[in-house]
Structure 1
């Protein structure tokens, strides 16, 4: 026998509030309509739900059992309503974010951790790729937002790009490197040392070649290439190698006291780090909240990095 869930909710309200009038008021219904619903339910069940002639109402055994089911229905409805409310407010859901490995590991991962502390019911699905593949995945709908360095002038019209950090590269090394504490570094100083090269298909690899060409180094030794940020940092810590990294990555690693940026000025890329998403795609509340959080975090970070760059890097 299938019963109307509304009748079960009604029974729960009557039992919990102690009478027809009180139950009707709790459900936002009139007392006569509640009496009619109760009579219909008793007819369908073929048994009484409240003992005859008892005041106050005394529920029968079957009434108490059905009222318990009604409470579960009410609780489920309340829970479902809360889920919908949290979803609409961007406090639950899924965010699929992709980005370039160096920035994701060196800068974004910490922000994702802070975001999930604030919004634990939002799941983050994070992946690595470079700009061309990230745009393809955004177009196909398998990604919600990309965080990557791009030249704003080269972005196709079907995408929105929110710039969150200017492009700034530095030559990085171990904090115990012979050049790390020098107040000034010349080209002749860095020439003897080997280099760590980023993956050949990464924008940072192109930056490395451009930087070295701009300071006159066309013949340089690569001792290691293609690794993750963790492997690059580990090798830098245990060798005299140099590499080119975004200054924001070196800055974020400063607490580990692993890397140092050399005080030699190099050219910066035309790219800026930013968030990329399809212009006309519907935006889920969780994705909107994530974008707002990342943008706010970078507003504060950009100012701090700029001050640190001027006060610490170029004033040695």
Structure 2
């Protein structure tokens, strides 16, 4: 004996509403179709499913048990429809986002937090990677969106990049570092202190190399390498070491008074930070919502960073000409 699932759904509707007419209206069916279904079920199981002569209709013990199964199917169907509606509206779903470690920790994770404050039904899975890793993960479908620095010549035909923030690096140190008290800096001042190495694969590695070329220095004393953003900050606070950091990262910690920006112009990279996606991504309304939120947050961040940069009293030093 085989029971058809949608027959159980109609049985559950009759039990829930107390009548065939009401159940038909709820399900968008005709009264005759629902009556026919109940008759077919009773013939198939060989037992009555409703007590004769009761209004509203009262199920028999067997009818009640079968109705519970139909109710579960009906609830699952309603839940499935709600999931579909929520997914299409972008209020439910999952977004996988990857990005460069320091920037994700300092800048993007607070943006994700504010996004989920308004969109609690969207799960965000964050991962880390440098540019080449993120390109591969986008291509293979492991992530939906990447937040990364890149130049205009690096882009692939099947991926698109939306620049949101010009890349700008600074020399960072712990608050109260001796160099913060000097009016004019010489090359020797930079050599007298240890340095934190950028993470392997980070574009900051090349940026540090360009700084050393500008100064005519082959190398600096690297005393610390491979740490997370928080460990690098703690190391800077506890030592007289120097590090090259994105200005936006240093800006994120400005209110904590733990690190300082050494006010020297240094060679700047020709790239931008932004959002990278596949040219033809699969449908993900939640992902589009997150990208829209990131655009708004980056716009505000750009204004805040530019204001912070204007407030710094940039000093003439060994790197570049004094600002106009």
Question: Structure 1 stretches (4+) deviating beyond 4 angstroms?
Answer: 215-219, 312-315
Alpha-carbon distance in 1 for matches of 2:134, 2:54:
71
* Aligned counterpart, 2:66: 66
The secondary structure found in structure 1 opposite 2:153 is helix
| 1:235-267 CA-partner distances (Å, limit 9, x unpaired) | 110111111110000011223322110111122
Alpha-carbon distance in 2 for matches of 1:295, 1:181:
38
| 1:66-98 CA-partner distances (Å, limit 9, x unpaired) | 222222222111111111222222233332322
* Aligned counterpart, 2:10: 10
* Aligned counterpart, 2:161: 161
Greater shift in the superposed pair: 264-273 or 9-18: 9-18
Matched, 1:238 2:238: yes
Alpha-carbon distance in 1 for matches of 2:229, 2:160:
28
Matched, 1:97 2:97: yes
Alpha-carbon distance in 1 for matches of 2:225, 2:54:
86
Compared CA separation, residues 313 and 249, structure 1 to 2 (3 A): farther
Displacement after TM superposition at 1:175 (Å): 0.9
Where do 1:169-184 residues align within 5 Å?
169-180=169-180, 184=183
Compared CA separation, residues 72 and 181, structure 1 to 2 (3 A): farther
Alpha-carbon distance in 2 for matches of 1:212, 1:305:
25
* Aligned counterpart, 1:195: 195
Aligned length, in residue pairs: 314
CA contact (8 A) 2:170 2:247 kept: yes
Alpha-carbon distance in 1 for matches of 2:274, 2:238:
32
* Aligned counterpart, 2:318: none
Compared CA separation, residues 35 and 128, structure 1 to 2 (3 A): closer
The secondary structure found in structure 2 opposite 1:260 is strand
* Aligned counterpart, 2:78: 78
Greater shift in the superposed pair: 279-288 or 82-91: 279-288
* Aligned counterpart, 2:141: 141
* Aligned counterpart, 1:186: 185
CA contact (8 A) 2:164 2:275 kept: yes
State the TM-score, normalizing by the size of structure 2: 0.87
CA contact (8 A) 2:263 2:312 kept: no
Alpha-carbon distance in 1 for matches of 2:111, 2:86:
21
Gaps of 5+ in 1: none
The secondary structure found in structure 2 opposite 1:105 is helix
| 1:149-201 CA-partner distances (Å, limit 9, x unpaired) | 1112332222200111101111101112123366x543355443222221343
Alpha-carbon distance in 2 for matches of 1:94, 1:15:
37
Displacement after TM superposition at 1:133 (Å): 2.6
Alpha-carbon distance in 2 for matches of 1:24, 1:144:
43
* Aligned counterpart, 2:34: 34
The secondary structure found in structure 2 opposite 1:296 is helix
CA contact (8 A) 2:94 2:124 kept: yes
The secondary structure found in structure 2 opposite 1:47 is coil
| 1:45-64 CA-partner distances (Å, limit 9, x unpaired) | 21222233344433322222
Compared CA separation, residues 280 and 34, structure 1 to 2 (3 A): closer
Greater shift in the superposed pair: 79-88 or 187-196: 187-196
Matched, 1:205 2:205: yes
CA RMSD after TM alignment: 2.3
Gaps of 5+ in 2: 316-324
Displacement after TM superposition at 1:220 (Å): 3.1
* Aligned counterpart, 2:297: 297
